[in-house]
Amino acid sequence: MSVPSTVTLVDVFPEDLQHLVGENQPLNEFLWLGIGGPARFLAEPVETGQISELVKAAKSHDLAVRILGHGSNILVREAGFDGLVISLSGPATTGLEISGNRLKAGAGVKLTHAAIKTVGEGLGGLEHLVGIPGSVGGAVVGNASAEGRDIGSVVRSIEVLDENGTAKTITAEEAGFSHRKSTLDGLVVLNVEFELEPKDVTALTKRMQKLWIHRGQRRPSDTSRIVMPFIDPDSMSTRDLIVNTGLSGLREGDVSLDLSAPQYLVAHENATSDQCLRLIERVREQVLLQTGIDLRLNLQIW
Ligand SMILES: Cc1cc2nc3c(=O)[nH]c(=O)nc-3n(C[C@H](O)[C@H](O)[C@H](O)COP(=O)(O)OP(=O)(O)OC[C@H]3O[C@@H](n4cnc5c(N)ncnc54)[C@H](O)[C@@H]3O)c2cc1C
């Protein structure tokens, strides 16, 4: 049930939070795809404590809450999101602290920065994730993976807020990591503690650089308005599946699968969210029809 449109920002948020919140705010500029409708309320907290207060205010008015990391895995529908979006790409959760073989990283830290920092300290475990766009929080919630290894395998504990805005720390086991999944949906990830392995800095750096270059080469080079909508099924890469089913370059209006790297969906000028959704559905239908494989969606649809 949506909250009546007569309810405004000043009704929902206490005075000391109101300067952090905007009403009817565009989300497209936060998203890799650059499309989609506005958020009814968009908050950009600057301190961790404000995040909990924002969640509590929304809860007390039955407003749905979504967390925005770096926007590389979200598609917002044309109608926008009728609730509160809290952006964690600002300064509220950007701490990065190494102690021994442990790294504590704020949810808003760029995953690539965390990888580079730990490699520089001779700590292995994140180097293979370098170049994956997005934040530490987004990566942990979606259990980002590359080279056959997921981020959950080096997580020790996670500081979260529950749906009432109450802080707690949960273990990696409680986060229920499995292939590109966790059970953290509905929680706000604030900080993540990683347990890493001491390794030779030079060897780690070489591996990281090689993977980074390779990852860059596999992406469409002429645009950054891309997402990777599907999760690789266990047996095969999405890229191979799409190539083998003859769907590379498939187009729906101003949205297409890339021709040479068809695991990426590209939003061209005038692209719409509806076109993205239709293209995704066509790909899933065709792949299912031709191979019997039901592609799982990675992209989060708001
Ligand atoms: C070019 C490209 C290459 C990619 N390559 C890979 C790859 O190799 N491997 C891979 O696994 N993924 C890959 N992805 C997918 C994407 O980069 C990852 O899913 C990334 O971890 C998302 O992080 P984000 O900060 O951008 O999350 P967002 O897109 O901002 O959010 C994604 C989801 O996470 C939730 N979320 C984000 N932060 C938090 C938080 N702090 N607390 C609670 N919920 C949160 C959001 O609500 C949303 O549901 C790729 C994407 C692109 C565009």
Domain ranges of the chain: 9-91, 94-217, 226-301
94-217: CATH number: 3.30.465.10
71 lines ligand 1 (CB under 6 A): yes
226-301: CATH number: 3.90.78.10
The pLDDT assigned to 1 comes to 59
CA distance 114 to 106: 10
Q: Please, which pLDDT band fits residue 283 given cuts at 50, 70 and 90?
A: very high
Q: Is 175 helix (H, G, I), strand (E, B) or coil?
A: coil
Angle between helices 111-120 and 201-217 in degrees, nearest 10: 150
Over residues 107-122, mean pLDDT: 98
Closest ligand 1 atom, residue 137 Cα: 41
Over residues 193-219, mean pLDDT: 95
Mean pLDDT of the chain: 96
Q: Please, which pLDDT band fits residue 100 given cuts at 50, 70 and 90?
A: very high
- Gap from CA of 187 to ligand 1 centroid (Å): 15
Q: Which two tokens mark 84? A: 């509160």
The pLDDT assigned to 223 comes to 84
Long-range own/partner contacts, residues 89-96 (CB < 8 A, 24 or more apart) = 89/30, 89/135, 90/44, 90/45, 90/46, 91/46, 92/45, 92/46, 92/47, 92/48, 92/50, 92/51, 93/48, 93/51, 93/137, 93/190, 93/191, 95/191
Q: Does pLDDT of 295 surpass 70?
A: yes
Closest CA to ligand 1's atom 3: 132
Closest ligand 1 atom, residue 219 Cα: 1
Dihedral in degrees, nearest 10, Cα atoms 287, 232, 138, 84: 10
- What's the pTM? 0.96
The pLDDT assigned to 18 comes to 98
Closest ligand 1 atom, residue 150 Cα: 11
End-to-end CA distance of the chain: 16
Pairing of strands 188-195, 226-227: unpaired
Write out the H or E segment, with its range, that includes residue 141: helix 136-141
52 lines ligand 1 (CB under 6 A): no
| Catalytic residue positions, numbered | 180
Nearest to 87, CA basis, from 117, 43, 46:
43
Nearest to 107, CA basis, from 118, 99, 123, 95:
95
Q: Does pLDDT of 221 surpass 90?
A: no
- Domain 9-91 CATH assignment equals 3.30.70.1050: no
- Gap from CA of 297 to ligand 1 centroid (Å): 12
- Gap from CA of 136 to ligand 1 centroid (Å): 9
The residues facing 23 across adjacent strands are 41
CA distance 171 to 183: 12
Q: What is the pLDDT of residues 224-273, one digit of tens each?
A: 899 999 999 987 899 999 999 999 999 999 999 999 999 999 999 999 99
Over residues 122-143, mean pLDDT: 97
The pLDDT assigned to 239 comes to 95
Pairing of strands 81-87, 38-43: parallel
Pairing of strands 265-267, 255-257: antiparallel
The pLDDT assigned to 3 comes to 82
Rg (CA), the chain: 20
Between 187 and 5, name the one with better pLDDT. 187
Q: What is the pLDDT of residues 26-75, one digit of tens each?
A: 999 999 999 999 999 999 999 999 999 999 999 999 999 999 999 999 99
